[in-house]
């Protein structure tokens, strides 16, 4: 009997082979990109090219490497009509310029698969769910949403912005916004009042898709470094 007890105790304290360990990073970031019908093919490509260029920006890579763990995790969700599934990527761990280049190349090569209404709430909810059981641990989780329009009234029961914000707040997730003002000059204010949520959340805005790449670089640096305010932003980029 004593021998069996000793064997059981040894087995209890042996490491379990194959058990997955969570990757520890400074930030889990989901890029939630507007692919709704208000964004034409050229504008959609400017968004993706802007994201890809931002992850090749030496300032962004430096911000990633200067963190406590020197790495972040990033994924992308393309959202459109609230009633249809979203396009989404796997998670990428970025811990070097080569990793950032790999993600940049993935974004460049991404093709559009969704269209329809501006279901921003459902898109953000989808992005928030990507944090669940992803095998990654971080002190901060951020959804970085970009778009050029306000939420359109849903035709059926779907997740809308109030519910998406409640999801974020209940989970400690931050939602930041990059409002593209080419069709609606009041969009940044709408994002501030209806979209952003959580610790140190903020809105930035650009006049059009042509300015998206530089704005995305600045936004990523602010999110990665977790800076509450950036006083040197040009006037063309608004913030709350």
For residue 237, the tally of other CB atoms under 10 A from its CB is: 19
Residues 6+ apart with CB under 8 A from 150: 118, 120, 184, 187, 190, 194
Of 130, 199, 197, residue with least CA distance to 168:
197
Q: Residue 20: its pLDDT value, please?
A: 53
Q: Residue 68: its pLDDT value, please?
A: 95
Q: Residue 2: its pLDDT value, please?
A: 42
Residue 18 pLDDT greater than 80, yes or no? no
Q: What is the count of structural domains for the chain?
A: 1
Condensed to tens digits (0 to 9), the pLDDT of residues 170-203 reads 999 999 999 999 999 999 999 999 999 999 999 9
The DSSP bridge pattern shows strands 23-24 and 136-137 to be parallel
- pTM of the predicted model, to two decimals? 0.84
Task: Give the integer Cα–Cα distance in Å for 141 and 229.
Answer: 18
Residue 3 pLDDT greater than 60, yes or no? no
Phi, psi of 157 (to 5 degrees): -75, 110
Please report, for the domain that includes residue 150, its CATH number: 3.40.50.410
> What average pLDDT score do residues 6-12 get?
39
Q: Assess if residue 140 is contained within a domain.
A: yes
Condensed to tens digits (0 to 9), the pLDDT of residues 45-103 reads 999 999 999 999 999 999 999 999 999 999 999 999 988 889 999 999 999 999 999 99
Q: Assess if residue 239 is contained within a domain.
A: no
Residue 207 pLDDT greater than 80, yes or no? yes
> What average pLDDT score do residues 212-237 get?
74
Which residue has tokens 């009234």?
153
Q: Assess if residue 114 is contained within a domain.
A: yes
Q: Assess if residue 9 is contained within a domain.
A: no
Range of the domain at 116: 23-225
Q: Assess if residue 233 is contained within a domain.
A: no
Q: Assess if residue 18 is contained within a domain.
A: no
Residues 6+ apart with CB under 8 A from 58: none
Q: Assess if residue 12 is contained within a domain.
A: no
Q: Residue 235: its pLDDT value, please?
A: 37
Q: Assess if residue 240 is contained within a domain.
A: no
Task: Give the integer Cα–Cα distance in Å for 215 and 205.
Answer: 8
Specify the DSSP element, H or E, that contains 212.
Answer: helix 212-225
Task: Give the integer Cα–Cα distance in Å for 90 and 33.
Answer: 15
Reading the block at residue 88, the tokens are 């989404």
DSSP codes joined into one string, 86-101: PEE---EEE-SHHHHH
């Amino acid at each position: 009997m004593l021998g069996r007890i000793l064997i059981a105790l040894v087995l209890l304290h042996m490491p379990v082979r194959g058990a997955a360990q969570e990757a520890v990073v400074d930030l889990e970031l989901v890029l939630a990109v507007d692919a709704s019908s208000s964004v034409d093919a050229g504008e959609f490509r400017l968004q993706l090219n802007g994201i890809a260029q931002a992850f090749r920006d030496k300032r962004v890579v430096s911000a990633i490497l200067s963190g406590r763990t020197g790495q972040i995790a990033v994924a992308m969700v393309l959202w459109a009509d609230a009633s249809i599934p979203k396009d989404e990527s796997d998670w990428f761990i970025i811990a070097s310029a080569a990793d950032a280049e790999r993600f940049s190349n993935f974004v460049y090569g991404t093709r559009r698969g969704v269209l329809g209404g501006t279901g921003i709430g459902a898109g953000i909810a989808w992005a928030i769910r990507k944090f669940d059981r992803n095998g990654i641990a971080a002190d901060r989780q951020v959804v970085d949403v970009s778009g050029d329009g306000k939420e359109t009234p849903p035709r059926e029961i779907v997740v809308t912005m109030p519910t998406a914000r409640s999801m974020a707040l209940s989970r400690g997730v931050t939602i930041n916004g990059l409002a593209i003002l080419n069709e609606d000059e009041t969009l940044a204010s709408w994002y501030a009042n209806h979209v952003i949520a959580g610790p140190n959340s903020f809105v930035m805005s650009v006049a059009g898709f042509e300015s998206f790449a530089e704005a995305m670089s600045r936004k990523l640096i602010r999110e990665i470094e977790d800076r509450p305010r950036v006083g040197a932003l040009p006037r063309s980029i608004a913030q709350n």
